Amino acid sequence: MSVGQSRAIAIAGAGLSGAVIARTLAEAGHRVEVFESRDHIAGNCHTARDGETGVLVHVYGPHIFHTDDAEVWDTVNRFARFRPYRNRVKTTSGGQVYSLPVNLHTINQFFGRTFRPDEARAFIAGKADRTIAEPVTFEEQALAFVGRELYEAFFKGYTEKQWGCPPSDLPASILKRLPVRFNYDDDYFFHRFQGMPEEGYTPMVAAMLDHPGIAVHLQTPFSRGGRDGYAHVFSSAPLDNWFGMAYGSLGYRTLDFERFTFEGDYQGCAVMNYADADVPYTRITEHKHFAPWESHDGSVCYRESARAAGPDDIPYYPIRLVREKAQLAQYVALAAGETATTFVGRLGTYRYLDMDVTIREALDCARLYLQKSAAGEPMPAFVTPPL
Ligand SMILES: Cc1cc2nc3c(=O)[nH]c(=O)nc-3n(C[C@H](O)[C@H](O)[C@H](O)COP(=O)(O)OP(=O)(O)OC[C@H]3O[C@@H](n4cnc5c(N)ncnc54)[C@H](O)[C@@H]3O)c2cc1C
C-alpha cells in the first residue's frame, strides 16, 4: 500500500505506545495522525535539559531501560544510542544509608553481623513469622518473608507513603517474591539488557515519529467524538476519560516533584529512597547521575512524594484494588462494544507497564492490526486484557 492511499489511522497519545504503533503502521504503508494533549512527545518518559544546570532531567520521574526481550532492545537501539547503565539504589532508614534491594550487605549492616550467604538465609528464616501460613495482606507477606525488623525498616514506611494506606490494607500480591538477596548483588534489575539513551528518551521517540507517513499534533487532545473518518483509532489516553467517566474515575496515585539545585554532587547516586514514615517524601532523584558520561558542576534534584490523584493531576500509578477493578470491569465491557478502537498502553489499559513491556505490547498490537486489516477482520478493543 502506498502512503496516502487509504483513510488515516488516528493515535491518541505520543508516548511510547503511540510512537511504536505509529512507526510500525507507517512502515507498513499507512498514514498515521498522532494526537498529543501535552506540548511534548514521549509521554511520561519525557526527558529535557534543565535550563539552569544543563543536566538531562527525567521530567516525570526516573526511567531506566531494562529488558530481556531482544527484539525490544533492538527496537530502542534502532532509534537511539544507548549507554550502559545499571540502576543502584540506596535507602536512608533510621539515620543510616543502606543498599537496595535488601541484600547481604544490607542485612549485615542492619544487624551488625558478618554473615556469609547461607548464614544470612538461616538467620532471616529464623526472623520470618511462621505463624502466617497464607499471607493475605502486603504486611503479612513481608512479615512471613523477612520478619518484623526488616519489614519496619525498609518496607512499611515507604509503602505507606507510596500507596497512602497501611500495608495491612494492601494485597499480598504486591510483594510477589522474597524481596531479599543473599549475596552482594545490588543491581536493581535482573534483565540482560539495560541502559540509558545517551541523549534521553524524547529524541528517541522523536526518531520513531520521524517518518513521512506520520503527522504529530501537539496540544491536541483526542476524544471519542473525533473518531469519524479514521480507519481505526488506537488510544493510549485514559480509559475512563474516553467514556466520559461513565463509571467514575479510575483511581491513580500522582507524584509531586519539588525541584532544587546544588553546586557539586548532592547525594552521590541517582536515587536515594527515604524509608521512614516521618520523612514526607519517598525519594530524591539526582538526575546528573543518570548520565555519568556527561560532566556538570551544578546539579538538579527532585524530591518526590506520592498522593491520591485528583481530577487535574497527572495519573502515575494505577491503584487497582478491589473497587478500581470492579470499575475497570465496567469500562472493559463498554470498550468491548466500541467499533474500530483499540485501547493500549498504561492509561488505555489501566496497568503499570514498564517501558519494555509497553513497546512489546505496542509492536504486537500494530502487527495484529496489519494482519486483521489485511484479512478484513475487526480488531479487538484490547490486545492484552486489562483485568
Ligand atoms: C514514576 C515512574 C517511573 C517509571 N520508571 C520506569 C523505569 O525506570 N523503567 C521502565 O521501564 N518504565 C518506567 N516507568 C513506566 C513508563 O513510564 C511507561 O512504561 C510508559 O510511560 C508507558 O508509555 P505509554 O505510551 O503507554 O503512556 P504515557 O507515557 O503515559 O503516554 C500517554 C500519552 O498520552 C497523552 N494523552 C493522554 N490523554 C490524551 C488525549 N485525550 N489525547 C491525546 N493525548 C493524550 C499523554 O499526555 C501522554 O503523553 C515509570 C513510570 C512512572 C510513573
C-alpha grid cell for residue 54?
Answer: 544543563
Could you tell me the pLDDT band of residue 6, with boundaries at 50, 70 and 90?
confident
Structural domain contains residue 7 = no
CA distance 89 to 157: 17
Average pLDDT for residues 110-119, to the nearest whole number?
Answer: 98
Best probe residue, ligand 1, of 35, 44, 289 (max atoms within 8 Å of C-beta): 44
In the block, which residue shows the cell 547516586?
Answer: 269
**204-214 per-residue burial string, b: 16 or more CB within 10 A, e: under 16:** bbbbbbeeebb
CA distance 1 to 259: 49
CA distance 30 to 12: 16
The pLDDT score that the predictor gives to residue 4 is 43
Structural domain contains residue 145 = yes
Cα distances (Å, whole numbers) of residue 184 to 103, 120, 127, 323: 6, 12, 20, 40
Average pLDDT for residues 93-113, to the nearest whole number?
Answer: 98
CA distance 335 to 385: 11
Contact between 129 and 148 (Cβ < 8 Å): yes
The pLDDT score that the predictor gives to residue 116 is 98
The answer on pLDDT for 3 being more than 60 is no
Tell me what percent of the residues of the chain surpass a pLDDT of 90.
96
Gap from CA of 218 to ligand 1 centroid (Å)? 16
- The phi, psi pair for 196, rounded to 5°, reads -135, 135
Helix (H) or strand (E) holding 37: none
The pLDDT score that the predictor gives to residue 281 is 98
Cα distances (Å, whole numbers) of residue 164 to 1, 140, 296: 51, 18, 36
Structural domain contains residue 322 = no
Contact between 33 and 217 (Cβ < 8 Å): yes
Let me know if 253 is a catalytic residue: yes
CA distance 108 to 98: 10
Helix (H) or strand (E) holding 16: helix 16-27
Let me know if 181 is a catalytic residue: yes
Average pLDDT for residues 207-231, to the nearest whole number?
Answer: 97
Task: Work out which ligand 1 atom sits closest to the CA atom of 44.
Answer: 29
| Ligand 1 pocket, CB under 6 A | 12-18, 35-38, 43-45, 61-65, 221-223, 236-238, 255, 316, 345-347, 353-356, 358
pLDDT in tens, 138-178: 999 999 999 999 999 999 999 999 999 999 999 998 888 88
Q: Which residue has the higher pLDDT, 4 or 268?
A: 268
SS3 190: coil
Total domains in the chain come to 1
**What is the strand order of the sheet 252-263 is part of?**
96-99, 90-93, 271-274, 283-286, 298-308, 252-263, 317-318
Gap from CA of 308 to ligand 1 centroid (Å)? 18
Structural domain contains residue 31 = no
Could you tell me the pLDDT band of residue 338, with boundaries at 50, 70 and 90?
very high
Structural domain contains residue 152 = yes
Rounded to the nearest 5 degrees, what angle is found at the Cα of 30, between the Cα atoms of 34 and 76?
65
Structural domain contains residue 156 = yes
Q: Residue of the nearest CA to atom 20 in ligand 1? A: 355
Tell me what percent of the residues of the chain surpass a pLDDT of 70.
99
Q: Residue of the nearest CA to atom 4 in ligand 1? A: 63
Q: Is 266 exposed, middle or buried (0-12, 13-18, 19+ CB in 10 A)?
A: middle
Let me know if 177 is a catalytic residue: yes
Catalytic residue among 181, 346, 351, 360: 181
C-alpha grid cell for residue 89?
Answer: 539504589
C-alpha grid cell for residue 103?
Answer: 541484600
Structural domain contains residue 120 = yes
Domain that holds residue 166: 102-176
CA distance 281 to 274: 7
Best probe residue, ligand 1, of 40, 249, 346, 383 (max atoms within 8 Å of C-beta): 346
- Those residues whose C-beta lies under 8 Å from the C-beta of residue 206, and which sit 6 or more positions away, are 41, 42
Structural domain contains residue 133 = yes
Could you tell me the pLDDT band of residue 5, with boundaries at 50, 70 and 90?
low
| Mean pLDDT over each residue of the chain, to the nearest integer | 96
